[in-house]
Structures are given as structure tokens and as C-alpha cells.
Amino acid sequence: MIVRAENEDGRRLHIRKATLRIWREAFAAELRARGIEANATSRAERSVSLKARGSAEYHLRERGDVSTAEARRFAQAAADLRRGETEAKPWEVAMAARRRDVLKELARNAADLRDEGDVELAEQVERFAHELPPLDTERRRMQRALVEQVNTRLQRQQIKISEPPDHQRDTQ
């Protein structure tokens, strides 16, 4: 569902993330009260570490094109890699902190369920927490792809160097 956030004059409202989260939770609670299954979970709670692509970027990608924004992000990731900048960016640090919070909350929930006697559900929560995929960012994916590409090229060059060229065989 998409909601336009405008005031009476048609100007866009800038809603804080915390406020939006409260609204989403209230909306989901209202749906549940009316018999409609709904949850308001964050990407971190669903273990989704990458943002969805915008529609323009999605359609460009479908056509086989790359957006200028994505090209810029790729160039920045490559530049960081060339400079040897491997430390986490502020948003990556924040993602890791959110993941730790989610894992702590899941552990608390599992312990509460165990205390209430629901061992099976507690084990499911623990399994879910254990099977969460590792955190990832677009920047890290781009850097891994670059490293893989370089390694592939280096391996090909090694093969070419180690194989004797056909014209050097002694035919006399």
C-alpha cells in the first residue's frame, strides 16, 4: 500500500522515521482488529539488509541500462577499494547495531517463550535467528564483484603465461 503524505495545500509532508514506524504499527494493529492478518516489521527484523531499488532504477535495469546513480555508487565502491578503505561506513555500523538489537530481542523472545512452556516456538525463533543471512550492503557486493573480476583476469593471465605458444614448438 502506498500513501501520499501531503498537507491540505498539497505540499509534501516530511515524516520522521520513528513517527512512520508508529503509524505502520498502529495501522497493522487496526487491520488485525478487523480480522486481517498484518504485521509492521522493519527490514532489519525481516533480515533484509539491502534497500529495494527505486522504480526508475528497476526499469532501467530491466532494459539492460544502468542508472547514473548506480554508476556513481559503483565508482565510489571501486575508489574505496583502490584506496584500501575497508572500514565500515557509518550506515554499515548502524546496520550492524540494528542487527545486534534484533538478535537480542529474538533471544529475549525465545527465552520468554521457553519460560511460558512453548519450547517448540522458542526453538523456531532461535532457528530463525541462527539462520539469518549475513548482513550485506550494495557497496560490499559491488566490491566483491570487482575483486572477483580482477581475480578471474589474473587467473586467465597466469594460464596464458604458463602455456607455451604454438609458434614456439620446434618443428625442425
Could you read off the pLDDT of 75-101 as tens digits, one per residue?
A: 998 999 889 888 888 888 888 888 888
Provide the pLDDT for residue 15. Answer: 81
Provide the pLDDT for residue 118. Answer: 93
- Average of per-residue pLDDT across 55-77: 83
Higher-confidence position of 153 and 171: 153
State how far the Cα of 21 lies from the Cα of 23, in Å rounded to an integer: 5
State how far the Cα of 133 lies from the Cα of 47, in Å rounded to an integer: 7
Tell me: the pLDDT tens digits for 16-46? 888 888 888 888 888 889 888 777 777 666 6
Cell digits for 51? Answer: 534497500
Q: Which residues contact 77 (CB under 8 A, 6 or more apart)?
A: 138, 139, 142, 143, 146
pTM of the model: 0.58
Distance, first Cα to last Cα, the chain: 79
- Average of per-residue pLDDT across 131-139: 84
Residue 122: pLDDT band with limits 50, 70, 90: very high
State how far the Cα of 108 lies from the Cα of 120, in Å rounded to an integer: 15
